[in-house]
Structure 1
């Protein structure tokens, strides 16, 4: 990169930001194109679905013309991109509500459960993974090690919607400890956040443990022991920072899956977010809403990944320099 842009040589952070911005713009273009084409490949007529099966053919044709659905695919795509550039997300074919208003009211609910799930994953997986590595080095019993491995492997392999259904049956229907669905009060966050965070927590915990074992086997640990440093200082001040980069890299890879998982989890818990609106709009073939929701979810994933990249670059500036 610096070879082709000599004037940026010696400015690794400028190059780093420029490359990330270009990658973000390209990815957003791919998401927009995919969302536009995807819904149009689904069989059926969205206008007929919105007006009803008994609507007069003349009325259906007029509505299709008003929406521009009787024009060629590339013409529709060009108009969609132009509207998006001007901040117009369109109007829902089913409800007649501006899609921008729908996004404004739905997005916060999705960000709340996705953000909380991500924080729960980090808060549980990082210390538990480190603790598991420490105890393994100190000589865990085989049965304890087997229980840890089997439990985390089982949780990591369970899909979000299966976890959601199981948690609902156990904690909401069986024990009646939590509300079954809806977003009324703090207790309503527990089930969707658990459904989103359990599998990523198990994955990250296993990987943190493996990385911590690698760090704890390095020469500096023996030096720290010889200096009689306290366990808390050895593990928290020395081991944790050394494995933070690898842990954040893995967590950044899990974040897109967690955001995508909100679609099914919100549907199960009737959560008033982007995911449940997307699921309903796909069934109704509401083109503008589907395009906007997919684009918003995709943008959220990309911005989350960008934030993780920036944090990694701050923790390890050499990575930004190498990429430049």
Structure 2
């Protein structure tokens, strides 16, 4: 907790030079490398755990046996499993994710073409969720602290619980019917123009905003009852200084951790939302690749999604540690 009588904390760049921060960074890097190895291994095993012959499934049941054998040889599937694994690791480290059977192009090229659309949709939706959640959560925390405004608290909690439990794709279908089909105000497919972002972004952002706002309200209520906040009130600080400078940073620690988890789930939820709105991103591509049994492309997209989740977790760990440096010491003890 922050004490108003203490000296202001040292800049983050100065604190990062301590041995605790070096150990913190080293352990996080080690965990990231281990997680990446598990992710790559799981992606490799995926094609071997699927029942049947993926090459035969991709070429069709009427394809000649010679063509199937030649295709298996091209993909290296006729080698022993350990040899295939070593080759797969080598190729992934060099950026070679194989050749898409559907597009007849390098899987990395197809992913590179579709990835920007998914990033634009997901990051825009998360930014909208944060912009909504932070002021609403702070305002409700201030209004309902100390058991005040019980009706407002119950209404807010009930509404946020309902909005937070609606699946993203189901909300997307409702938004399409209301604003696209019935009212005709907004486009329901594609990504041409700013108006095409409104419905898919809202589909992903509403539930996340509800969960973040509810959590931030609880954290604000707790922080506003702390001793150092009472001291700040006694010193007659302005409401902005009290709530934004002193209360909000402490309330954000848990919210950022949950926000990282929600961003990861938002990435997964974008798969279905992209298909609802015919959004030409990775989510739409992986569904069509699974249906077409294009396993090299599926493997590559799974790797990209997994890497995105891992990077989000690393960023969240660093952000929480910067807001509360002592948390790094606690987690390393």
> What TM-score comes out, normalization by structure 1 length?
0.91
CA displacement, residues 197-249 of structure 1 (integer Å, 9 cap, x when unaligned)? 11111111111111110001112333333333332222112211221222212
Contact 1:39 1:282 in 2 (8 A): no
Match of 1:55 in 2: 63
Farther-moved stretch of structure 1 (64-73 vs 110-119): 64-73
Equivalent positions of 1:49-198 (< 5 A) are 49-137=57-145, 141-198=149-206
Q: Is residue 325 of structure 2 the alignment partner of residue 309 of structure 1?
A: no
For the residues of structure 2 that align with 1:244 and 1:139, how far apart are their CA atoms? 21
Q: Secondary structure at the match of 1:179?
A: coil
Residue 31 (structure 1) aligns with: 39
Is the 2:144–2:152 contact (alpha carbons within 8 Å) kept by the matching residues of 1? no
How far apart are the structure 1 equivalents of 2:286 and 2:155? 39
Partner secondary structure for residue 268 of structure 2: helix
Instruction: Check whether the contact 1:47–1:93 (CA below 8 A) recurs between aligned residues.
Output: no
Report the alpha carbon displacement of residue 129 of structure 1 after superposing the two structures with TM: 0.8
C-alpha deviation, 1:179, in angstroms: 0.9
TM-score (norm 2): 0.88
**Partner of residue 211 from structure 1, selected from 200, 215, 219:** 219
Secondary structure of the residue aligned to 1:23 is helix
Q: Say if 1:241 and 1:14 are closer, same or farther in 2 by CA, change over 3 A.
A: same
Change (3 A) 1:233 1:34: same
* Structure 2 residue 228 is matched with structure 1 residue 220: yes
Give the corresponding residue for 1:12.
20
CA distance in 1, matches of 2:139, 2:115: 36
Contact 1:130 1:208 in 2 (8 A): yes
Consecutive unaligned residues in structure 2, runs of 5 or more: 1-16
Residue 268 (structure 2) pairs with residue 253 (structure 1): no
| C-alpha spacing 1:156/1:190, structure 2 compared with 1 (3 Å) | same
The C-alpha deviation readout for 1:79-127, integer Å capped at 9, x for no partner, is 2112112221111122211111112111111111111122122211121
- Where does residue 291 of structure 1 map in the other structure? 299
- The CA deviation at 1:16 is 1.5
Q: Which runs of 5+ in 1 are unaligned?
A: 1-8
**Worse-matched range after superposition: 280-289 or 205-214:** 280-289
Report if the CA contact (8 A) 2:249-2:323 is conserved: no
How many residue pairs are counted as aligned between the two chains? 316
Shift of 1:47: 2.3
Contact 2:144–2:150 (CA<8 Å) still a contact in 1? no
SS at match of 1:69: coil
Distance 1:73 1:169, change over 3 A: farther
| Partner Cα separation in structure 2 for residue 296 and residue 258 of structure 1 | 14
Contact kept, 8 Å, 2:121 with 2:197, in 1: the verdict is yes
Partner SS state of residue 181, structure 1: coil
- Whether the aligned pair in 2 keeps the contact of 1:171 and 1:178 (CA below 8 Å) is yes
Distance (Å, rounded) in 2 between the aligned partners of 1:186 and 1:10? 46
Whole-angstrom distance in 2 between the partners of 1:128 and 1:16:
33
Partner Cα separation in structure 2 for residue 38 and residue 171 of structure 1: 40
* Bigger mean CA offset, 69-78 vs 87-96: 69-78
